[in-house]
C-alpha cells in the first residue's frame, strides 16, 4: 500500500477531461471522464465515472458506476445511431445537442460519502454530505445529507445521526481543515463519538435536554 503523500493513479486508469485532487487514489481499470474528484477521495477497481462532481474524502468501492449515461427514450429509436451516426455512415454528423444535454446532467457527490460495492448513481442525482449508499443500490433520486440508502431503486434506510449532529458537522466542515490541523486532531476522529466531537468543535451545537 503506497503512502498517500501525493495522488496515486494506477497505470491502467483511463482519464478524459478530468481533474483529480490532492492525496487521492484511483485503483486499476477505472475510467473517469468529464469529472472532478476532490481531495483525499478514492475510487476502487473497475469503476466508471462520467459527468460528475465528487467531493472530498469520498470512499467509492469496486465496480461502482456514477453518471451512467441514459439513452434517448423519447425518440422513435433509442439506439446510438441517432446520436452517433458517424459510427455507421461516413460523413453523418454527430448529434452535439444530445451530448451537451448529457454533460449537463451531472452527478454531484458531497464530501465524506461512502458508496458501496457495485452501486449505480444515475445522471442528475445529488448525494448529500456524509451519506451512505449501500452495495448494489441503484440511486435514481437525490439523497439527503447523512442518510443511508439502499435497494433498487434506492430508498432511505435510516439517518446516520440526529438532525442536530448532522447540522453541527456541516458547520464544522472538517473536510476543509488544513492537513496539519486534520492530523493534529486525528485522535478525536478515532476516539470521540460524533456527538462529543461536535460539542468539542462546534460552539453552536444544541444541548439535548
pLDDT digits (tens, 9 = 90+) for 103-136: 888 999 999 999 999 999 999 999 999 999 999 9
Q: Quote the pLDDT of residue 20.
A: 97
Q: Is the pLDDT of residue 37 over 90?
A: yes
Q: Quote the pLDDT of residue 3.
A: 54
d(CA 39, CA 14): 19
DSSP SS3 for 120: strand
Annotated catalytic residues are 71
Q: Quote the pLDDT of residue 131.
A: 98
Count of other CB atoms within 10 angstroms of residue 146: 24
Average pLDDT over residues 38-46: 98
Q: Is the pLDDT of residue 4 over 70?
A: no
Average pLDDT over residues 148-177: 97
Residue 58: name the closest of 128, 142, 2 by CA.
128
This prediction's pTM: 0.90
Q: What's the helix, strand, coil split of the chain in %, to 5? A: 25, 25, 55
Q: Which residue has the cell 477531461?
A: 17
d(CA 208, CA 189): 22
The three three-digit cell numbers of residue 186, written as one number? 486525528
194-205 confidence digits (pLDDT tens): 999 999 999 887
Q: Is the Cβ–Cβ distance between 50 and 68 less than 8 Å?
A: yes
Q: How many CA atoms lie within 13 A of 16 on its CB side?
A: 8
Residue 179: name the closest of 2, 6, 1 by CA.
6
DSSP tag of 193: -
Residue of 13 and 98 predicted with greater confidence: 13
What are the residue ranges of CATH 2.160.10.10 in the chain?
Answer: 1-70+105-160
Q: Is the pLDDT of residue 209 over 60?
A: no
Count of other CB atoms within 10 angstroms of residue 114: 17
Q: What is the mean pLDDT of the chain?
A: 93
Q: Is the pLDDT of residue 183 over 50?
A: yes
Residue 36: name the closest of 103, 117, 94 by CA.
103
d(CA 78, CA 55): 32
pLDDT band at 206 (very low <50, low <70, confident <90, very high): low
Q: Quote the pLDDT of residue 207.
A: 52
CATH 2.20.28.90 fits 1-70+105-160, yes or no: no
pLDDT band at 32 (very low <50, low <70, confident <90, very high): very high
Q: Quote the pLDDT of residue 71.
A: 87
Q: Quote the pLDDT of residue 1.
A: 46
Amino acid at each position: 500500500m503506497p503512502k498517500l503523500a501525493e495522488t496515486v493513479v494506477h497505470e491502467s486508469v483511463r482519464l478524459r477531461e478530468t481533474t483529480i485532487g490532492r492525496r487521492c487514489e484511483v485503483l486499476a481499470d477505472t475510467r473517469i471522464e468529464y469529472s472532478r474528484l476532490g481531495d483525499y477521495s478514492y475510487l476502487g477497481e473497475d469503476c466508471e465515472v462520467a459527468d460528475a462532481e465528487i467531493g472530498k474524502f469520498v470512499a467509492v468501492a469496486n465496480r461502482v458506476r456514477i453518471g451512467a449515461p441514459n439513452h434517448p427514450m423519447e425518440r422513435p429509436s433509442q439506439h446510438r445511431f441517432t446520436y452517433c451516426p458517424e459510427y455507421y455512415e461516413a460523413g453523418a454528423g454527430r448529434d452535439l445537442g444530445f451530448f451537451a444535454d448529457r454533460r449537463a446532467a451531472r452527478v454531484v457527490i458531497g464530501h465524506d460519502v461512502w458508496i458501496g460495492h457495485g452501486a449505480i448513481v444515475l445522471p442528475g442525482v445529488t448525494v448529500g454530505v456524509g451519506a451512505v449508499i449501500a452495495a448494489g443500490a441503484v440511486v435514481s433520486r437525490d439523497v439527503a445529507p447523512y442518510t443511508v440508502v439502499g435497494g433498487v431503486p434506492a430508498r432511505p434506510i435510516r439517518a446516520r445521526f440526529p438532525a442536530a449532529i448532522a447540522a453541527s458537522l456541516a458547520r464544522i466542515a472538517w473536510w476543509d481543515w488544513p492537513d496539519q490541523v486534520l492530523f493534529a486532531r486525528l485522535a478525536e476522529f478515532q476516539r470521540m463519538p460524533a456527538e462529543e466531537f461536535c460539542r468539542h468543535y462546534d460552539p453552536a451545537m444544541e444541548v439535548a435536554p
